[in-house]
Amino acid sequence: MQNQQIAAAFNEVADLLEIQGANAFRVRAYRNGARTLENLSESVADLLAVPGGGLESLDGIGKDLAAKIKVVVETGQLPQLEELRQQVPHGVVDMLRIPGLGPKKVAVLFKELGITDLTQLKEACEAARVSELKGFGKKTEQAILEGIPHAMEAGKRFLISVATEAAEAIVEDLKQLPSVGQVSVAGSCRRHKETCGDLDILATSDNSAAAMDRLAANPLVEKVLARGDTKQRVRLRSGIELDLRVVPPESYGAAMQYFTGSKEHNIVIRRRAIERGLKVNEYGVFRGDEYVAGQTEDDVYAAVGLPFIPPELRENRGEIELAEAGKLPKLIEVTDIQGDLHMHTTASDGAATIREMAEAAKARGLKYIAITDHSKRVSMANGLDAARLREHWANIRKVRDEMRGIEILCGIECDILEDATMDLDDDVLSEADWVVAVLHYGLKQPREQIMQRLLNAIRNPNVDAIGHPTGRMLVNRPAADIDFTTFFKAAADHGVMLEINASPYRLDLDDIQAAAAKSHGIPIIIDTDSHNTNGFDSLRYGVDQARRAGLTKDDVANTRTLAGFKELMRKK
């Protein structure tokens, strides 16, 4: 079990305990423990092997939680969580996905109205029963109604990071079997969509039963749902369902192409095959009953007159035409990124110091970073006012002078306030090396107000970039209502860069809008928004998002050297 999975289990325990009205200190202990695990660079399994209680030496992990972590690592389960799930219906937990509806309010709905799922909650709101409860009211009831569709959709999808980590762990485990030849992730996870509904894994093996037995025994697997001769469906402990298909080697490429999708892309591929007197399916490419190709994806695409098309582009958004014309872009790679321009330290809500963040970035091969702690509007994140920010910048300069092999810029993540002004005065912002302006609050404002805020920030001569432009949080908070045509034109006219925020919870801009930004000639930056040294690992998801948008190395500003990057900044 990985640190993040154990942290997720602890957070779920905390949610369930809070719904039950458990002692606040007990709830807080689980949340603190989860936060410690999320920020931990070492594997908990490695720490358990340290004599003298390696885990108990960590902040937020006492003897009790250390013992529970040991059980999870050794068995793949947390008995207390399983007991709580029996006591609180899963549908009650689903209500926590509604923006603004925390465990205490969910507990009231569960205990006083007996509501156990989102459908019942919708009916209660429509009957005005919720607004009669103490602490709710008409506005809250209306907000809940508006949030229910989003919560229902969120329940069907899983963050790409959750899906990818699970799928890759299972693939690596299956590779340990001598009887397994090739094995890979397929489906929307391979196309690196922001969220996944389920997972597909394909394998070649001369012993399909052994492969299925291995999957069934994996500690990530909660239950085997179905099993045949060559296909097995399981449900993981995270709730996501996974299909394992065992195929013959001569069909592996065809199966990978077929099960990677998308449906829209595959329809065009099949049409091209028919035009050439061929048939394409998961078993191969055929002319009548004659097998033509299928061992590799390259062979499948070649059979229909196309070069290999990267999985991220397979959405029928023009990639077929580009491939046919020999104009497929050379997509950006993680190794192309030289700088990260959005991260946090202990000066605001980060878990690591300036030096620790810089050293972690350097260890990952980055050549420059910008420290961008929050401005004062984000009080819950210990945001910085002018005096504290200037002191913080002095500390950054001190570390910069002492370090070699990486450059550190004095930056700020400055809020664009609800009244369309900046959270810090221009005389302060003008002293920064790098300013990324963001929306955090007032995301439900009408489009006109949202646009006025964004346009004012873009026109500000001190603003270098707009970070996570829509403010969305995947499966949790919808995006602000933005007129992208006007937004992109303004950014292009004023030389302001736009961010793909690599946090798996954001991935903002999305792939569609990132492609549109490219068409306007706007430089994109891919940043991790790291709040701890592990946060740099999310860079891959931002790059995957850029690849889905068809971005090349030249489209992304922070693939340049620092000198080249500063040249782009000067164009503002």
Q: What is the pLDDT of residues 132-160, one digit of tens each?
A: 999 898 999 999 998 898 788 766 789 99
* pLDDT computed for residue 154 by the predictor: 66
Dihedral of CA 519/525/529/534: which sign? Answer: positive
The sign of the dihedral angle between the CA atoms of 112, 117, 118, 122 is: negative
What are the residues facing 411 on neighbouring strands? Answer: 434
Rounded Cα distance, 274 and 304, in Å: 9
Residue 35's pLDDT band (boundaries 50, 70, 90)? confident
Residue 5: what pLDDT? 79
Token representation of residue 299:
């062979």
What does the pLDDT look like over 183-206, one tens digit per residue?
999 999 999 999 999 999 999 999
pLDDT tens-digit series, residues 483-513 = 999 999 999 999 999 999 999 999 999 999 9
Residue 337 main-chain phi, psi, to 5 deg: -75, 125
Q: Is 391 helix (H, G, I), strand (E, B) or coil?
A: helix
Element of type H or E holding 283: none
Cα–Cα–Cα angle for 242, 478, 200, nearest 5°? Answer: 10
Distance from chain centroid for Cα 222:
23
β partners of residue 178: none
Query: DSSP E strands: which ranges in 1-160?
Result: 158-159
pLDDT tens sequence across 62-118: 888 888 988 888 887 889 998 999 898 888 988 988 877 888 899 999 999 999 999
Sheet with 221-227: strands ordered across: 180-186, 198-205, 241-246, 231-236, 221-227
Classify 288 as helix, strand or coil.
Answer: coil
Helices (H), 250-346: 252-260, 263-275, 297-303, 319-324
| pLDDT of the residue at 150 | 76
- pLDDT tens across 400-411, in order? 999 999 999 999
Q: Which domains does the chain have, with CATH numbers?
A: 3-154 (1.10.150.110), 158-246 (3.30.460.10), 252-324 (3.30.210.10), 334-570 (3.20.20.140)
Q: What pLDDT is stored for residue 237 in this prediction?
A: 85
Query: 275: left (phi > 0), else alpha (psi -120 to 50), else beta?
Result: alpha
**What sign does the dihedral 150-155-156-157 (CA atoms) show?**
positive
Contact 286/297 with Cβ under 8 angstroms? no
Q: What is the pLDDT of residue 356?
A: 97
pTM over 0.95: no
Q: Locate all alpha helices (DSSP H) within 227-296, ordered by sequence.
A: 252-260, 263-275
Tokens of 466: 């707009």
Neighbours of 571 (CB within 10 A): 10
Give, rounded to a whole angstrom, the gap between the first and last alpha carbons of the chain.
47
Q: Please, are residues 301 and 270 in contact by the beta-carbon 8 Å criterion?
A: no
Cα–Cα distances (Å) from 519 to 466, 489, 544, in that order, read 17, 11, 18
Q: How many of the other CB atoms lie within 10 Å of CB of 363?
A: 12
Q: Do the Cβ atoms of 337 and 559 come closer than 8 Å?
A: yes
* 533 DSSP assignment: G
Q: What pLDDT, on the 0 to 100 scale, is given for residue 327?
A: 97
- Mean pLDDT across the chain, nearest whole number? 93
Tokens representing 443 are: 């995301």
For residues 203 and 211, the answer to whether their CB atoms sit within 8 Å is yes
């719904």: which residue's tokens?
19
More confident residue, 125 or 60: 125
210 pLDDT exceeds 70?
yes
What is the per-residue pLDDT for 419? 97
Q: Does residue 1 have a pLDDT over 60?
A: no
562 vs 29: CA distance, rounded Å? 43
CA distance 179 to 320: 36
